[in-house]
Amino acid sequence: MSRGKFAARLAQAGSAPQEIIGELHRLAYMSAPQKVPRVIENDADDDHVLACALAGQADLIVSGDRHLHGLGGQYHGIAIVTAAQAVQRISA
């Protein structure tokens, strides 16, 4: 959240990275998967996202990552959507 591109957008919206992180901590459910199976051959970090989503019984994985979207829009029944798609779903 403190990367330049994010911090600049947050500043435009009148917010700060610390505020967003605080809100995420309040709303988040922490999950710790027992295992992290290899799914994304070219990006092992994405495997951790998938394992956490599965362990936490997530409804959505919100990401712009091309490797995750390369799974065809879902992983074990968990939808993989862009931020814009997530906003549409939440607003509906």
pLDDT in tens, 12-57: 888 888 888 888 889 888 888 999 999 999 999 999 999 999 999 9
pLDDT at 84: 94
pLDDT at 45: 94
Terminal-to-terminal C-alpha distance of the chain: 27
Rounded Cα distance, 58 and 92, in Å = 19
Give 46-87 pLDDT, tens digit per residue: 999 999 999 999 999 999 999 999 999 999 999 999 999 999
Paired sense of beta strands 74-75 and 78-81, if any: antiparallel
Q: What is the pLDDT of residue 66?
A: 95
For 64, phi then psi, to 5°, come to -105, 5
Is residue 11 over pLDDT 90? no
- Say which residue, 9 or 37, is predicted with more confidence: 37
Per-residue tokens: 86: 């997530």
